[in-house]
C-alpha cells in the first residue's frame, strides 16, 4: 500500500487521543475542567433567527466570502471595536476560527515559508502549518516571562524565509493577554522584517476588567500586514455552528477565494443568518457574559491560591488557568490521568499544547459555580496526595 501524507507524522497526538477515548472520560460523576467551550446555551434569539432562515428557505449556497448582511454587520462591529474603518470587503466568513487560520496559513505560507507559532499554544497551529506546506518554527512562552512572547525570541528566529508570525491573545491555554507595550515591539519587528501577522483573537470578547483587549492590528503600519482570525464559538456559545471570520486587507480576498471555493465552497447559509443576528446583540451581550464569567474566574483564582503547592499566571482572558504542577514530580499526562481516574476531574495535560507545556495543566472554568467549587475540592485533595508536604 502507498504511504499516507508524511506531513501527518509531523505531530503526535496519540497520547492525548487515548486519554480522551478512555472509558473514564464518560463517567457521570466527572467534573469537567477540560472543556474548551462555554456551558451557556446559544442565546434563543440566535436560534430563532436560524429557524426563521430555515423556514424561509435559506438552505442554498451563499456567496463564497459570506452572506452580504453578515459581512456588513461584522465590518461595522470590527470598526467600532478596533477603532479602524473596515468595509465588508475586508471580512471573509469561514467555518470557525480554526478554518480561518488554515486559509490564511495556506494562502501566505503554503510555499514552505516559515511560520512562527507559540509553544505552548493552541494545538491546531503546528498541524495546520505542516498540512498547509509551511515550515513550523515555534517560539517559547515561559513562566518567567509571564508566558508573554519575548520580542528577542521572535527576532532571533526570523530568517529570510519567515513569512508569518502567529500571535494569540487572549491565549489558549494560558488565559493571559499580550500587553500593548509588547504588541508595539512585535509590530516593529514585523514591519522591519516585512512579515505578516496572524492575530488569533478567538477569545477577544472575554477579557476581565481592569485588563482590556488590545490588538496589533490597531497599531500604525500593522493593518496592511495583519490577519485577524475570529470566531463566534466562544463569543456567543456557538461552537457547534462552525462560524468564524478573517479580517484582512481586501487585496487578499482573491487568494482566500481560490482556496475556499474549492475546499469549502461557503459556510452554512442558516448559520450565517443566525450569526448576523448575534452581531446585532451588540456589546451588552458580552457585558452580561463577562459578569458571569468574572465570578467564575474569581472563584477558581481564590480556590487555587489556597493550594500553596501549585502556581499559575493571573487569568486575564478566555476561561483557562495554566497550573504549574511541577512539584508533583510527574508528567502532566500522568497527573491528568490520576485526576481523572482517582478524582473524576477532567483536565488537559499541558503537553497537549507543545513540549513547553510540560509541567502544567490547563483548567477551564467555563462551568457553573457549584461545579467549580466541587472541582477545586477534588483538586485540593489530589494535590495533598500527589505532592509530598
Ligand atoms: C486559540 C484558539 N483559536 C481558535 C480557535 C477556534 O475555534 P473555532 O474553530 O471553534 O472557531 C480556538 C478554539 O478552541 C482557540 O482556542
Residue nearest to atom 14 of ligand 1 (CA): 36
Please name which of 16, 40, 314, 357 lies closest in space to residue 170, comparing C-alpha atoms.
Answer: 314
Distance of CA 65 to the CA centre of its chain: 22
Residue 2 inside a domain? The answer is: no
What CA dihedral angle connects 291, 295, 297 and 298, to 10 degrees? 130
Whether residues 220 and 299 share a domain: the answer is no
Whether residues 253 and 376 share a domain: the answer is no
Could you write out the three-class secondary structure of 165-205? EEEECCCCCCCCCCCHHHHHHHHHHHHHCCCEEEEECCCCC
Whether residues 253 and 299 share a domain: the answer is no
Residue 219 inside a domain? The answer is: yes
In the predicted model, what is the mean pLDDT of the chain?
95
348 C-beta closer than 6 A to ligand 1: no
Contact 316, 388 (CB under 8 A): no
244 C-beta closer than 6 A to ligand 1: yes
Residue 97 CA to ligand 1 centre (angstroms)? 5
Residue 200 CA to ligand 1 centre (angstroms)? 8
Ligand 1 pocket mutation pick from 35, 105, 202, 213 by most atoms within 8 angstroms of CB: 202
Confidence of residue 389 (pLDDT cuts 50, 70, 90): low
Whether residues 208 and 82 share a domain: the answer is yes
* pLDDT at 135 > cutoff 90: yes
Residue 383 CA to ligand 1 centre (angstroms)? 30
Confidence of residue 283 (pLDDT cuts 50, 70, 90): confident
96 C-beta closer than 6 A to ligand 1: yes
Per-residue exposure over 212-248, b if at least 16 CB sit within 10 Å of its own CB, e if not: ebbbbbbbeebbebbbbbbbbbbbbbbbebbbbbbbb
> Where a domain ends, among 215, 249, 281?
281
98 C-beta closer than 6 A to ligand 1: yes
Model pLDDT for residues 361-383, shown as the tens digit of each residue = 999 999 999 999 999 999 999 99
Residue 36 inside a domain? The answer is: yes
Residue 318 CA to ligand 1 centre (angstroms)? 11
Confidence of residue 343 (pLDDT cuts 50, 70, 90): very high
Residue 133 inside a domain? The answer is: yes
* pLDDT at 201 > cutoff 70: yes
Residue 122 CA to ligand 1 centre (angstroms)? 8
Residue 178 CA to ligand 1 centre (angstroms)? 17
Confidence of residue 77 (pLDDT cuts 50, 70, 90): very high
Confidence of residue 16 (pLDDT cuts 50, 70, 90): confident
Could you write out the three-class secondary structure of the chain? CCCCCHHHHCCCCHHHHHHHHCHHHHCCCCEECCCCCCCCCCCHHHHHHHHHHHHCCCCCCCCCCCCHHHHHHHHHHHHHHHCCCCCHHHEEEECCHHHHHHHHHHHHHCCCCEEEEEECCCCCHHHHHHHCCCEEEEEECCHHHCCCCCHHHHHCCCCCCEEEEEEECCCCCCCCCCCHHHHHHHHHHHHHCCCEEEEECCCCCCECCCCCCCCHHHCCCCHHHEEEEEECCCCCCCHHHCCEEEECCHHHHHHHHHHHHHHCCCCCHHHHHHHHHHHHCCHHHHHHHHHHHHHHHHHHHHHHHCCCCCECCCCCECCEEEEECHHHCCCHHHHHHHHHHHHCEECEEHHHHCHHHCCEEEEECCCCHHHHHHHHHHHHHHHHHHCCC
pLDDT of residue 233: 96
pLDDT of residue 117: 98
Percent of the chain with pLDDT over 90: 91
Residue 6 inside a domain? The answer is: no
94 C-beta closer than 6 A to ligand 1: no
Whether residues 163 and 243 share a domain: the answer is yes
The whole-angstrom separation of Cα 104 and Cα 81 is: 22
Whether residues 275 and 302 share a domain: the answer is no
- pLDDT, mean of residues 155-160: 98
Whether residues 227 and 86 share a domain: the answer is yes
241 C-beta closer than 6 A to ligand 1: no
pLDDT of residue 186: 98
Contact 140, 356 (CB under 8 A): yes
Whether residues 262 and 312 share a domain: the answer is no
Tally of domains in the chain:
2
199 C-beta closer than 6 A to ligand 1: no
Whether residues 247 and 318 share a domain: the answer is no
Residue 223 CA to ligand 1 centre (angstroms)? 22
pLDDT of residue 19: 76
Confidence of residue 387 (pLDDT cuts 50, 70, 90): confident
239 C-beta closer than 6 A to ligand 1: yes
> Where a domain ends, among 253, 281, 309?
281
Residue 2 CA to ligand 1 centre (angstroms)? 33
200 C-beta closer than 6 A to ligand 1: yes
> Where a domain ends, among 281, 313, 339?
281
Q: Which is it for strands 196-200 and 162-168: parallel, antiparallel or unpaired?
A: parallel
- 380: domain CATH number is 3.90.1150.10
97 C-beta closer than 6 A to ligand 1: yes
Model pLDDT for residues 210-256, shown as the tens digit of each residue = 999 999 999 999 999 999 999 999 999 999 999 999 999 999 999 99
Q: How many CB atoms lie within 10 A of CB 76?
A: 16
pLDDT of residue 147: 98
Structural domain of 352: 12-41+284-386
* pLDDT at 109 > cutoff 80: yes
235 C-beta closer than 6 A to ligand 1: no
Model pLDDT for residues 289-310, shown as the tens digit of each residue = 999 999 999 999 999 999 999 9
Amino acid at each position: 500500500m502507498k504511504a499516507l501524507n508524511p506531513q501527518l507524522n509531523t505531530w503526535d497526538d496519540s497520547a492525548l487521543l487515548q486519554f480522551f477515548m478512555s472509558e473514564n472520560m464518560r463517567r457521570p460523576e466527572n467534573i469537567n475542567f477540560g472543556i474548551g467551550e462555554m456551558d451557556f446555551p446559544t442565546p434563543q434569539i440566535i436560534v430563532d433567527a436560524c429557524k426563521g432562515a430555515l423556514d424561509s428557505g435559506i438552505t442554498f449556497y451563499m456567496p463564497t466570502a459570506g452572506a452580504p448582511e453578515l459581512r456588513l454587520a461584522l465590518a461595522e462591529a470590527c470598526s467600532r471595536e478596533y477603532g479602524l474603518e473596515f468595509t465588508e470587503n475586508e471580512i471573509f466568513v469561514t467555518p470557525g476560527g480554526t478554518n480561518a487560520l488554515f486559509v490564511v496559513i495556506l494562502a501566505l505560507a503554503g510555499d514552505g515559508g516559515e511560520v512562527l507559532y507559540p509553544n505552548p499554544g493552541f494545538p491546531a497551529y503546528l498541524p495546520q502549518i505542516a498540512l498547509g506546506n509551511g515550515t513550523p518554527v515555534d517560539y517559547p512562552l515561559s513562566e518567567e516571562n509571564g508566558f508573554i512572547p519575548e520580542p528577542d525570541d521572535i527576532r532571533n528566529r526570523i530568517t529570510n524565509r519567515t513569512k508569518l508570525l502567529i500571535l494569540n491573545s487572549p491565549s489558549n491555554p494560558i488565559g493571559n493577554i499580550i500587553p500593548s507595550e509588547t504588541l508595539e515591539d512585535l509590530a516593529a519587528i514585523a514591519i522591519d522584517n516585512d512579515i505578516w501577522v496572524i492575530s488569533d483573537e478567538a477569545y477577544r470578547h472575554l477579557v476581565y476588567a481592569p485588563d482590556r483587549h488590545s490588538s496589533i492590528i490597531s497599531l500604525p503600519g500593522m493593518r496592511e500586514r495583519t490577519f485577524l482570525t475570529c470566531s463566534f464559538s466562544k463569543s456567543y456559545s456557538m461552537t457547534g455552528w462552525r462560524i468564524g471570520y478573517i479580517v484582512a486587507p481586501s487585496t487578499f480576498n482573491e487568494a482566500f477565494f481560490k482556496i475556499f471555493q474549492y475546499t469549502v465552497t461557503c459556510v452554512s447559509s442558516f448559520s450565517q443568518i443566525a450569526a448576523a443576528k448575534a452581531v446585532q446583540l451588540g456589546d451588552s451581550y458580552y457585558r452580561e457574559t463577562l459578569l458571569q464569567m468574572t465570578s467564575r474566574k474569581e472563584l477558581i483564582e481564590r480556590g487555587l491560591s489556597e493550594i500553596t503547592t501549585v502556581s499559575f499566571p493571573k487569568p486575564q482572558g478566555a476561561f483557562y488557568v495554566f497550573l504549574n504542577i511541577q512539584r508533583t514530580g510527574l508528567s502532566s499526562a500522568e497527573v491528568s490521568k490520576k485526576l481523572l481516574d482517582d478524582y473524576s476531574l477532567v483536565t488537559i495535560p499541558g503537553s497537549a499544547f507543545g513540549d513547553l507545556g510540560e509541567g502544567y495543566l490547563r483548567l477551564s472554568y467555563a462551568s457553573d459555580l457549584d461545579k467549580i467549587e466541587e472541582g477545586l475540592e477534588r483538586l485540593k485533595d489530589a494535590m495533598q496526595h500527589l505532592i509530598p508536604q
